[in-house]
Amino acid sequence: MVPTLIKDLLSSKPESQKVTVCGWIRSVRDSKNLVFIQVNDGSCFANIQLTFDRNSPSPNANVNNIEEELKKLNTGASVRAEGLLISSPASGQAVEVTLESLKTLGTCNPEEYPLQKNKMSMEYLRTNAHLRARTNTFGAVYRVRNQMAFAVHSFFQERGFQYINAPEITCSDCEGAGEMFQVTTLSMEKIAELGVKAGAGGMKIEDAHKIVDYSKDFFGKKASLTVSGQLEAETMATALSRVYTFGPTFRAENSNTPRHLAEFWMIEPEMAFFDLDDDMDIQEDFVKYLLNWALTKCRSDLEFFDKRIQPGLIESLEKVAKAKFVRISYTDAIAKLEEAEKNGAKFEFKPYWGCDIATEHERYLTEKIFGCPVMVFNYPKEIKSFYMKQNDDGKTVKAVDVLVPGIGELIGGSEREENYEKLLKACEERKMDMSNYQWYLDLRRFGTVPHSGFGLGFERLIRYITGMENIRDVIPYPRAPKLADF
Amino acid sequence: MVPTLIKDLLSSKPESQKVTVCGWIRSVRDSKNLVFIQVNDGSCFANIQLTFDRNSPSPNANVNNIEEELKKLNTGASVRAEGLLISSPASGQAVEVTLESLKTLGTCNPEEYPLQKNKMSMEYLRTNAHLRARTNTFGAVYRVRNQMAFAVHSFFQERGFQYINAPEITCSDCEGAGEMFQVTTLSMEKIAELGVKAGAGGMKIEDAHKIVDYSKDFFGKKASLTVSGQLEAETMATALSRVYTFGPTFRAENSNTPRHLAEFWMIEPEMAFFDLDDDMDIQEDFVKYLLNWALTKCRSDLEFFDKRIQPGLIESLEKVAKAKFVRISYTDAIAKLEEAEKNGAKFEFKPYWGCDIATEHERYLTEKIFGCPVMVFNYPKEIKSFYMKQNDDGKTVKAVDVLVPGIGELIGGSEREENYEKLLKACEERKMDMSNYQWYLDLRRFGTVPHSGFGLGFERLIRYITGMENIRDVIPYPRAPKLADF
């Protein structure tokens, strides 16, 4: 029979009713007459306390059984316990369970259990990623991650968006948004063999590439993992009006930093009939919705992060959830940064009109200048993508980035260029191979509409909401250079 | 300003209020005095009708503007229209919009528009997958897909499950659940070159594999796309109790059939403290929940499928949603099939104890013998996976498949082997390389618990609910051998 989750037991009215508790031991405190066992099942931050009073056990308690089982219990062992749910006389918890019977499902040898140590570094836990969900920190991270994923879906479903799945394997590349992983069923060992054979037979080096025959590859051509589902999302938005993706995307960049993953989840909404202002409105609504959801539904997990990971976290999230986001043009933002520099602000990279706004600039804008989230819009076209709608000034495009304190850029979006000729010209200027993008141009040939969209990296969001420092610690199994364990 | 979605307009009370309609023209009927324009925005199956009465236009109608714009309109063109929402005098719709002004946002040249033809085959539409969401059929498919995705999340969230993301890129292989795609940043052209060079220098063929140096690959070893997130989900379930994945998985099998995709979305729940009976209970609940959701929230889309794609669809889904699923052991199921064969049933593959139950057998069981969904459990261990819990008979494992009429297997699941020694032995019998699975065995060394899970292919579900014949038509951009367009 399926046991009740501990989060549901903890919110039940204690009426001495019989309950079953299943979970993993967090601690056992066995003093002379009283035994306290903390059990956690990951359904919430809190443990439930099992109590066994040797002087006055529960009338139905199987005392011999309990004493036998107690000998097997260590941190990490799993149990099925039965007892009565009563209101707890001790502070710190509303209810507890007086033990009637106890069964050790799985023991946990303290000599071997990797989570025995008192102080475990994040690095150490990463090497035990298959077990780290059993710790306070990672249980909380994964519960927040779960709540945020459902918040994302709820936000868009409430607003008439259709969830769509962009392909993971692709032969186009979203204009080199990043380095790509190749996906293949060709055998590299076989290619090496064919090379050695051909070399022995006198093949010239410059002909070696002929050995690689993509017509024999699974898809009949060279294929890669997607860096973004945006272009495909646009095809769906220009039929279903409002759509969003939420799926994995990939970057093969050799970035060994606490802010980069090779595999990460992206949320990419795309909205027909939305201009840049509409886009900014919904981005602001979205961020606030997510923060309010976290503040309401993940309260005890956030309290843990606030206490142990990033002091002040809750207050800072609450502030952003209530703030009116500042909207400022790139041109004005650069002027503010130049002025700040004149007045003594120190930047690694000098800000000037035309520069990419670096993380240090983003954070200076949102943390120092405005003290609240900032939406910077109308960027120079040279530093942005081909698909962004061109402004009449001939210099800027209708792009927007949302900057938040502590993180910098959280969201990047734009109105898309819906004019066929202008889009074609932007592609040509960038010397793109248009044969891969005819389908994308078709959207501008047949019933084109103004439309906008944006992208939010899910792990960046989780990092922001939990205050966790390293992005590798907000996804169960991080992938990064030289890292693909489990 | 963001327009109201047509689905919301259609359910608004008509009070001659001014409304804005944005969408794509489905048809224009221009008789002498009356013009009817059908506009669709993909938010629902139905169009909204714009009307323009030349004899008595709306008092505020910009007649010249409307006449000018009408000349530009063809099927596929996009418009922004304004007018008054009134109750419709015609049958077939509750409300319509009397035009006051009209703006063509994007024209659509009927000579070039690929969706002009009256009868378009599914194959033809597949070659225009970037536009097919604009048709009745595919709009309906994608809306059902969206609803089903949200139903999946809602079902599990309501039951205290945590959504988790298993990795897409992996170095383990879930015991060869299928052929895998390799993921790499090594250049095959470079390997060919090195081969040619080495061959010219006299390298022996049997040494050619040395040219392929995975230590230089992105992850420092050979990596692939996952075929299943189950093993990783188990690591999370043995910490968070109830979890589910919902993400892409991949099979590099050369199966060019209407039932296989190389990239598809899988739902893989995993539950600690659930035995096989609990597993079957929740599978049955899950299927019924999904069907009821579809029958309630996708009614007009399902009515279309019932009428045009698979007559009888709604009745058959309703029947399953109300049925008590039959539970029968593999041994009894085989006996039933053998008996049926004796009585004249024709099978391509003869059923016998020990055989894999083929789709023809599955469908015979669910369609002919029982006339309702069937859960077949306790399969011979030889035809199932290493991780399934072994029964005491020494011959069978606690696996279960859910079979539904018209499809055959919809769900496959099992209780997992939680005993360390038994699991290790099952791995050894299969001569698996255990160095990749120590982390998985660890779950049985440290606080092991009984647990169960199952897998549901999302596209198979959508095929079942829509009645669409080819699985390539229930995902926006299907991937299959030689197929990775867009």
Minimal CA separation from A378 to chain B, in Å:
19
| Interface membership of B459 toward A (CB under 8 Å) | no
Q: How confident is the model at residue B173 (pLDDT cuts 50, 70, 90)?
A: low
pLDDT of residue B178: 76
Choice among A239-248, B164-173, B474-483 with the minimum mean pLDDT? B164-173
| Interface membership of B441 toward A (CB under 8 Å) | no
CATH of segment(s) A6-106: 2.40.50.140
Q: How confident is the model at residue B190 (pLDDT cuts 50, 70, 90)?
A: very high
Q: Which residues of B touch A477 (CB under 8 A)?
A: 166-167, 232
pLDDT of residue B92: 82
pTM: 0.97
**How many angstroms separate the CA atoms of A97 and A37, rounded?**
10
Q: Which residues of A touch B80 (CB under 8 A)?
A: 273
Minimal CA separation from A456 to chain B, in Å:
17
Best mutation target, A21, A446, A461, to test chain B (most B CBs within 10 A): A446
Q: How confident is the model at residue B272 (pLDDT cuts 50, 70, 90)?
A: very high
Best mutation target, B109, B165, B238, to test chain A (most A CBs within 10 A): B165
Contact B196 A211 (CB under 8 A): yes
| B230: nearest CA partner in chain A | A486
Minimal CA separation from B170 to chain A, in Å:
6
**How many angstroms separate the CA atoms of A344 and A323, rounded?**
28
Contact B169 A479 (CB under 8 A): yes
pLDDT digits (tens, 9 = 90+) for B29-42: 998 899 999 999 99
Backbone φ and ψ for A250, nearest 5 degrees, come out as -135, 145
Mean pLDDT of B394-420: 97
Q: At what angle do helices A458-466 and A276-297 cross, to 10 degrees?
A: 50
Contact B143 A240 (CB under 8 A): yes
Instruction: Give yes or no for a contact between A356 and A385, defined as CB atoms under 8 angstroms apart.
Output: no
Mean pLDDT of B397-423: 97
Instruction: Give yes or no for a contact between B218 and A252, defined as CB atoms under 8 angstroms apart.
Output: yes
| Interface membership of A110 toward B (CB under 8 Å) | no
Q: Which residues of A touch B453 (CB under 8 A)?
A: none
pLDDT of residue A434: 84
Q: Which residues of A touch B439 (CB under 8 A)?
A: 130, 485-486
Instruction: Give yes or no for a contact between A342 and A316, defined as CB atoms under 8 angstroms apart.
Output: no
Instruction: Mention the CATH class of domain B137-184+222-473.
Output: alpha beta
Q: Which residues of B touch A133 (CB under 8 A)?
A: 235-236, 239-240
pLDDT of residue A178: 76
Minimum-distance CB partner of B239 among A25, A42, A169: A42
Q: Which residues of A touch B149 (CB under 8 A)?
A: 153, 163
Mean pLDDT by 10 residues, chain A (486 residues): 95 97 96 95 98 95 96 96 94 93 97 88 97 98 98 98 97 74 97 97 96 96 95 98 98 93 98 98 98 98 98 97 97 98 96 96 97 97 96 97 96 98 94 89 98 98 98 98 94
pLDDT of residue B176: 64
Minimum-distance CB partner of A236 among B76, B142, B219: B142
pLDDT of residue B463: 98
Give the three-class secondary structure for A328: strand
pLDDT digits (tens, 9 = 90+) for B141-151: 999 999 999 99
ipTM value: 0.97
Choice among A162-176, A443-457, B160-174, B341-355 with the minimum mean pLDDT? A162-176
**How many angstroms separate the CA atoms of B437 and A486, rounded?**
8
pLDDT of residue B119: 81
Q: At what angle do helices A438-445 and A420-429 cross, to 10 degrees?
A: 150
Contact B200 A195 (CB under 8 A): no
| Interface membership of A134 toward B (CB under 8 Å) | yes
Minimal CA separation from B408 to chain A, in Å:
25
List of residues 6+ apart from B96 with CB closer than 8 A: B48, B49, B50, B51, B85, B86, B87, B88, B90
Q: How confident is the model at residue B49 (pLDDT cuts 50, 70, 90)?
A: very high
pLDDT digits (tens, 9 = 90+) for B284-319: 999 999 999 999 999 999 999 999 999 999 999 999
Give the rounded percent of residues in chain B with a pLDDT score beyond 70: 99
Confidence check: pLDDT of B84 > 60:
yes
| Interface membership of A335 toward B (CB under 8 Å) | no
Instruction: Give yes or no for a contact between A235 and A439, defined as CB atoms under 8 angstroms apart.
Output: yes
Beta pairing class for A169-170 and A182-184: unpaired
Minimum-distance CB partner of A447 among B24, B194, B440: B24
CA distances from A202 to A209, B33, B203 (A): 14, 80, 13
Contact B139 A239 (CB under 8 A): yes
Q: Which residues of B touch A80 (CB under 8 A)?
A: 273
| B167: nearest CA partner in chain A | A477
E-assigned strands of B339-430?
A: 374-380, 396-404, 408-415
Best mutation target, A113, A188, A297, A474, to test chain B (most B CBs within 10 A): A188
Query: Which part of chain A is CATH 2.40.50.140?
Result: 6-106
Contact A78 B212 (CB under 8 A): no
| B234: nearest CA partner in chain A | A130
Question: What six digits make up the tokens of B204?
Answer: 């022996």
| Interface membership of A445 toward B (CB under 8 Å) | yes
| Interface membership of B443 toward A (CB under 8 Å) | yes
Segment (H or E) for B52: strand B48-53
Segment (H or E) for B240: helix B230-240
Confidence check: pLDDT of B175 > 60:
no
pLDDT of residue B73: 95
Count chain A–chain B contacts defined by CB atoms under 8 A.
Answer: 417
Contact A442 B162 (CB under 8 A): no
Minimum-distance CB partner of B449 among A106, A113, A183: A106
pLDDT of residue A175: 56
**How many angstroms separate the CA atoms of B237 and A79, rounded?**
15
Give B 28-67 residues with CB within 8 A of chain A.
41-43
Best mutation target, A40, A130, A225, to test chain B (most B CBs within 10 A): A130
Contact B162 A181 (CB under 8 A): no
Query: Which part of chain A is CATH 3.30.930.10?
Result: 137-184+222-473
Q: Which residues of B touch A450 (CB under 8 A)?
A: 105
The strand pairing partners of A480, in sequence order, are A483
Question: What six digits make up the tokens of B482?
Answer: 């030689």
Minimum-distance CB partner of A192 among B3, B163, B211: B211
| Interface membership of A174 toward B (CB under 8 Å) | no
| B44: nearest CA partner in chain A | A240
**How many angstroms separate the CA atoms of A483 and A263, rounded?**
11
pLDDT of residue B172: 78
Q: Which residues of A touch B167 (CB under 8 A)?
A: 263, 476-477, 479, 484, 486
| Interface membership of B351 toward A (CB under 8 Å) | no
Minimum-distance CB partner of B134 among A131, A194, A239: A239
E-assigned strands of B252-373?
A: 263-272, 326-329
User: Residue B127 is which amino acid?
Assistant: T
**How many angstroms separate the CA atoms of A418 and A426, rounded?**
12
